[in-house]
Amino acid sequence: MRDGLEIESFLDSLETLVDEAEGKRGKWRDVWSEIKSIGQAFKESRFPTVQDRQATWNRFQSIFANVKSCQERGREKFEERVRESKYHLEQILSYAERATSPSGSADALLAICTGGLSVLIKAGIDAILGPFDDRKFELQKCSEAMKEGWVYLSQNKGQMFGKDKQEAFEALKKASEALHEAWDEWKSARREAIGQYHAEKQATWEARRAKRKAWIAKREAWEERMRENISKLEDRLDRLESALDHKKNNLSKLEDMRDSAWSDSFRDRVEEWIDEENARISDIESKIDQIKGWISDIEAKLR
């Protein structure tokens, strides 16, 4: 038969295991195994008084509640990391898409070189080089988006999971290779266009309209995705604000409990609960500010 002092020793050991698990130096399964063992030990132990047994049991329950709270916070932090990683991935995929040249542009440039002659003979070399200047501007915009994408990945990769980081890297790499090819095609087609001075002017403008339409379609699709992202973030914001209201109401109740506490020990316990609730409120408010910042960033891109 165990005595109360031995149970207190077990609780000291349990608290050490909890500290180690929370600090990533131990494992939670060891904590739960110890909790199970202590629960069984209570059944086999004797205490000097009923009050001593209740005090020790209360300490055990307090540690047990702290373990559950720690693991819940850990789960919440992990879920937030998943959401943050996915958010950064979406941003990088957006950069990669903006850095991807509209399809069919190379064919359009070649069409300039193989079209009719009559109009462009009168219009001169500027009519040939005009579309190439437009194409250069598009590719420069793509290059800027590519640079921004790599910078964004470098700045935020520490907040991303390996799988998301790899997908982001592959997307930027693929877009970079495609952009490099687009630049090569642009240079080659420009040289050929100059050599084929008598390309048909009408084909030039038709190709330009087709490119512009494709670019606008991609831009509109991107804007739609950004608006969808804002809608999802606003939904999350609503849920967090509702949770914040709930936590503040609960905090008010705890403060009433503290003010009407019948003993100093109970008042101290309630103060601890208040501190924990304030920490949760601060965490939610931080998440709300972060999401509002993300929404502002996306809205700024859409302007």
Per-residue pLDDT reduced to its tens digit, 53-92: 888 888 888 888 888 878 777 777 778 888 899 999 999 9
Q: Tell me: the pLDDT tens digits for 279-288?
A: 999 999 999 9
- Tell me the longest C-alpha to C-alpha distance in the chain: 111
Please check whether residue 211 lies inside any domain of the structure: no
Entry pTM: 0.44
Statement: residue 298 has pLDDT above 60: yes
pLDDT at position 114, please? 46
**Segments forming the whole domain that contains residue 150:** 99-199
Please check whether residue 212 lies inside any domain of the structure: no
Statement: residue 105 has pLDDT above 90: no
| Averaged pLDDT for residues 230-249 | 93
Q: How far is CA 255 from CA 64, 248, 270, 272, in A?
A: 23, 10, 8, 11
Q: Tell me: the pLDDT tens digits for 185-203?
A: 888 887 777 777 655 655 6
* Same domain? 186 vs 256: no
* Same domain? 185 vs 241: no
CB atoms within 10 A of CB 17: 21
CB atoms within 10 A of CB 231: 11
Among residues 47, 134, 153, the alpha carbon closest in space to that of 94 is found at 153
* Same domain? 266 vs 192: no
Statement: residue 120 has pLDDT above 70: no
* Same domain? 22 vs 110: no
Where does the pLDDT of residue 35 fall: very low under 50, low under 70, confident under 90, or very high at 90 and above? confident
pLDDT at position 193, please? 73
* Same domain? 223 vs 277: yes
Statement: residue 103 has pLDDT above 90: no
